[in-house]
Each structure stands twice: as structure tokens, then as C-alpha cells.
């Protein structure tokens, strides 16, 4: 197996979006390079968001990019930003699990590359009405797709103390999950759990205001609830399981993760040596030059593997 280490390249020139841009795409140059974007090739951006990575793929010469996202607001922005590319881009309101259906409807049995950037976008975090951050007051919603599914508040109301603590322990990797769950349920019962600030106060009541490892005490709980509301790990598992069947021989799957649970899933899936050939021994991380312009990229890890040809490809 021909596996090489790819080191961060010097003289990095990150994409510098105009002030109207809602989000900066991480590892932009590395994604284009690892997917081997070029003329005549069709790609999927499974997390289109506001269209940042999709635009980069098109600018690099992709013949067509099929974009998916669960967030209708993000897709509306992407549609406007990518309008000039015409039929070379096709946008769809859909989660990972609906990618096979979308490709069938587009008449694309196989594509040359699939990208999934699993980070929550800046515009989602910064919009108080989405309820994804404790930095602004907003409803306990947290849904990426605001058109369907239960909100974070509805989830908290539905599960019992043990189920809530399991969510916080497993998805947030928060060892104080039982205490936090108990306090959240107490605040709910007393009618004092209406918005994001109330939720943060419940967490602080359980564990105190001290930061651990430099992060706010509520960070892991908010992460866990958001992941549960959006079934993020289940959707990722579907993508990792079906991607090989949707790629042409030597087509690449690129996954950008931002925390350990997702990264472990991607690492385990791409370690199937009868299916995938990783392009690097270790995940690709942002260069110091990129971090200077976009600190959000600090926790990003890019794993890429190419789908190995099979006997069935010759038939």
C-alpha cells in the first residue's frame, strides 16, 4: 500500500471571505488536494452549509458538485452564493442517510469524491434563535433541520434522568453527567428551564462555574444535546457504511471531524483495508498559517481514503 505523510505546506494563503461571508471553510486547500479535484469529475459535498467547500471544489475544476444539508437556512444562503455556477451545482435538503436517493434522482450511480465537514457552522452557533450556544439567549431548539424533529427541550422532557445522563456521559464525554442531568431535570420540574441561559445555569449549579481545560462548564452538555437532537453519530455511521458503494474505483471519501467520537468512527471505518486505502498515515490538521486566520480550525482533523477497485468494477 502506497501511503505517505502529507505535511502542511508553507506560505499558506487561506480563503479570505468578504465581510458578508457567514462561515470560513477549514482545511480548504487540503480538501481540494486530497480529493484530486479536476475536470470531468463529480463530487458530493454532504455538508454544504453556506457553500464554502462547494465553491472551492467548483473553482478547482469539478464538473459538478451535488450538495446536501439538513439546514434550510444554510441552503438558502448557498443557493444565492453559488448561483453563478448554474447546472454545475445541485443543492438538496437532505441528511447523510438520504444521499443514495439524491444520487439516484440525479442520475449519478457513482461519484468521484465525497466530502463531509462535521463541524457546526459559525452562523448556526452565532444565531441565538437556533439555541446551539450558551453565549446568546435563545430557545432550547438545537435542530440543524428546523423543519422537523424534536427540539432539545422536547428531548429533555421526554427522557428520564438515567437516559439524559447517558446522553451527556456518552455524547459529551462529560464525566459529571449524572449530576448535570439531575439538576437539569430539577430545573425543568420547577419551570425554570426555558432557554439556553437557563440550561447553562443548571449545568453550573451542578458542577460549578470553573472552566476545565479552558472550556466553559456547559460546553460538553450543549454538545451532547445537540448531537442527540440531530442523531449525528447515527447519520455519520450511515455515511461511512454506504460511501464505498457510491464511489467510483479510487474515488475518495474525505471526513473532517472536530471531536474524538466522530474521529474514532471515521478512523475505524477507513481502516477496513479490503475497502479503503488511506492517503496519509495520520489525519491532516491545519497549518499554523491557517490557525492564525481561523482559530476554529484548531480541533479539525481531515481523514481521507480512496475506495479500492473490486472485481465487480470490471463487470
Give the length of the chain. Answer: 315
pLDDT value at position 315?
A: 57
Look at residues 3, 252, 286 and name the one whose alpha carbon lies nearest to residue 115.
Answer: 252
Binning pLDDT at 50, 70 and 90, where does residue 13 land? very low
Q: How confident is the model at residue 24 (pLDDT cuts 50, 70, 90)?
A: confident
Average pLDDT over the chain reads 91
Residue 11 has pLDDT above 90, yes or no: no
Give the pairing of strands 111-117 and 64-69.
unpaired
Domain 28-122+232-314 indexed as CATH 3.90.1150.10:
no
> If you ran DSSP here, which 8-state letter would residue 135 be given?
T
Q: Residue ranges of the domains in the chain?
A: 28-122+232-314, 146-229
Give the C-alpha separation, 49 to 42, whole Å.
19
pLDDT tens digits for range 159-214:
999 999 999 999 999 999 999 999 999 999 999 999 999 999 999 999 999 998 88
pLDDT at 8: 33
Helices (H), the chain: 28-35, 52-59, 72-81, 99-106, 122-126, 152-158, 161-171, 177-189, 196-207, 219-229, 232-246, 260-270, 288-293
pLDDT score of 17 more than 50:
no
pLDDT, position 112: 98
Print burial letters for 255-274: b (CB count within 10 Å at least 16), e (below 16): bbbbbebbbebbbebbeeee
pLDDT of residue 22: 54
Q: Measure the CA dihedral 274/275/280/286, to 10°.
A: -150
CATH topology of domain 146-229: DNA polymerase; domain 1 (1.10.150)
Amino acid at each position: 500500500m502506497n501511503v505517505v505523510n502529507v505535511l502542511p505546506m508553507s506560505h499558506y494563503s487561506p480563503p479570505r471571505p468578504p465581510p458578508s461571508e457567514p462561515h470560513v471553510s477549514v482545511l480548504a486547500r487540503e480538501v481540494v488536494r486530497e480529493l484530486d479535484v479536476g475536470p470531468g469529475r463529480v463530487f458530493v459535498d454532504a455538508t454544504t452549509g453556506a457553500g464554502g467547500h462547494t465553491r472551492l471544489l467548483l473553482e478547482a475544476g469539478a464538473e459538478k458538485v451535488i450538495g446536501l444539508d439538513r439546514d434550510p437556512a444554510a441552503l438558502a444562503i448557498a443557493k444565492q452564493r453559488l448561483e453563478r455556477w448554474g447546472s454545475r451545482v445541485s443543492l438538496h435538503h437532505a441528511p447523510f442517510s438520504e444521499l443514495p436517493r439524491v444520487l439516484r434522482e440525479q442520475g449519478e450511480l457513482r461519484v468521484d469524491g465525497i466530502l463531509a465537514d462535521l463541524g457546526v457552522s459559525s452562523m448556526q452557533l452565532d444565531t441565538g434563535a437556533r439555541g446551539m450556544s450558551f453565549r446568546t439567549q435563545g430557545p432550547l431548539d438545537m435542530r440543524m433541520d428546523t423543519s422537523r424533529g424534536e427540539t432539545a427541550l422536547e428531548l429533555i422532557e421526554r427522557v428520564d434522568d438515567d437516559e439524559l445522563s447517558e446522553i451527556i456521559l456518552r455524547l459529551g464525554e462529560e464525566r459529571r453527567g449524572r449530576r448535570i442531568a439531575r439538576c437539569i431535570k430539577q430545573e425543568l420540574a420547577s419551570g425554570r428551564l426555558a432557554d439556553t441561559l437557563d440550561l447553562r445555569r443548571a449545568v453550573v449549579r451542578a458542577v460549578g462555574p470553573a472552566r476545565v481545560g479552558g472550556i466553559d462548564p456547559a460546553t460538553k452538555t450543549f454538545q451532547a444535546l445537540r448531537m442527540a437532537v440531530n442523531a449525528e453519530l447515527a447519520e455519520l455511521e450511515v455515511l461511512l457504511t454506504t460511501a464505498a458503494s457510491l464511489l467510483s474505483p479510487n474515488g475518495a471519501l474525505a471526513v473532517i471531524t472536530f471531536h474524538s467520537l466522530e474521529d474514532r468512527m471515521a478512523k475505524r471505518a477507513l481502516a477496513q483495508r479490503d475497502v479503503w486505502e488511506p492517503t496519509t498515515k495520520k489525519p491532516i490538521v491545519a497549518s499554523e498559517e491557517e490557525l492564525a486566520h481561523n482559530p476554529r480550525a484548531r480541533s479539525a482533523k481531515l481523514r481521507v481514503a480512496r475506495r479500492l477497485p473490486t472485481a465487480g468494477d470490471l463487470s
